[in-house]
Each structure stands twice: as C-alpha cells, then as structure tokens.
Amino acid sequence: MFKIIDVTDISDINTWVKENFVHEYLKFTVIYDFTTVNFLDLSITLSSYNVIQTELYKNAVSKHKFLHYNLAHPRHLLNSLPYSSGLRIIRSCSIFETRERELSSLMDRFRKWNYPDSTLLTCLNKLSTLSQDFLLRPRKPLLSTYQHNVLVNYYEINL
C-alpha cells in the first residue's frame, strides 16, 4: 500500500502512524519521508511545486542481467526484450530527461549482451513515439456501466 497524507494537522507523525496503522492480523511496516519514498520499483518524489514525480528505483546491490543475444532462444523473444524493458522505463519515469537517460543506459546494457544495433535502433524509434500518459491510459474499460449495474442489481436481489 502506498499512501500520501497531508501532515499539516498532525503534530506527531510517529504517534499518528501507530494509531492509524493497526490491524488484528496484519503487521505494517511503515516508511515515511517528506520528499522521497521508494515503493516497489519506483522512487516517488514530491517536488517543490507539489507535483508527484516518479523514476525507477534500483537497489544498490541489484545486478540485473539480460539474456545474451547468441543464446539458443527464439529470436522474436530476444528482439522483444529491449522494447518491453523500454516500455517499463517510459511508464515509470515521469521526467523526460530521466527517461532518456534510463533508455540510453538500457540500450548500452543490451549492446554489452551482443544485441544488434539495428534491433536497438528500431526499438528506440518505436519507443520515441510513446508517452507515459498513453501507456498508463486503460485501453478499454474493465466493465461497462450496463454490466456493472446488472451485477450490482443481481447481488442486491439475491442477497
């Protein structure tokens, strides 16, 4: 769970956390900061303009390695790895400069694993046409309003 809380009316954050994050069967680990929090694979920052910015969080001991291009795996799988990894970067990095730096670093790592420059260039060209807003927007609704109403009515009648 990730939660942003307005702390202007909270005098003691530690007491507030102890009082509000209590459950009979669950134990919560609470990490808080007033500017930056690492959550899953993201580093989430609240800027001085009160805007949430995200970028990839990488653990200092992480040694993320990719499949070598000369291994006996299907070419379509190997060729799709740079693109899918790039999609993750675009979804995760809200600042354009950070996104470009991460994509450049990603392509350098794939070059070290012998991925052809032509594959990486094609991938970068496809990725350059995509925005974070486009990738985070749902492609289609999960339930239409009609389906939702039918389900709600069904459960109200049969309870």
In a domain, 65, yes or no: yes
pLDDT at res. 159: 46
Lowest mean pLDDT among 6-10, 37-41, 99-103, 125-129: 6-10
In a domain, 37, yes or no: yes
Confidence of residue 158 (pLDDT cuts 50, 70, 90): very low
In a domain, 38, yes or no: yes
- Average pLDDT, integer, range 64-72: 86
pLDDT tens column, 118-128: 999 999 999 99
Does pLDDT of 35 surpass 60?
yes
b/e 150-159 (16+ beta carbons within 10 angstroms → b): eeeeeeeeee
In a domain, 66, yes or no: yes
- Average pLDDT, integer, range 50-69: 85
- Whether 89 and 99 have beta carbons less than 8 Å apart is answered as yes
φ/ψ region of 41 (left if φ > 0, alpha if ψ in -120 to 50, else beta) reads: alpha
Domains of the chain: total: 1
In a domain, 75, yes or no: yes
Domain region containing 59: 13-136
- Average pLDDT, integer, range 37-50: 88
In a domain, 150, yes or no: no
Confidence of residue 31 (pLDDT cuts 50, 70, 90): confident
In a domain, 152, yes or no: no
Confidence of residue 114 (pLDDT cuts 50, 70, 90): very high
Q: Which residues, including other chains, have CB under 8 Å from residue 95's CB and lie 6 or more apart?
A: 53, 55
Distance CA 118, CA 109 (A): 15
In a domain, 94, yes or no: yes
DSSP structure class, residue 143: S
Candidates 37, 39, 137; CA nearest to 91 is 137
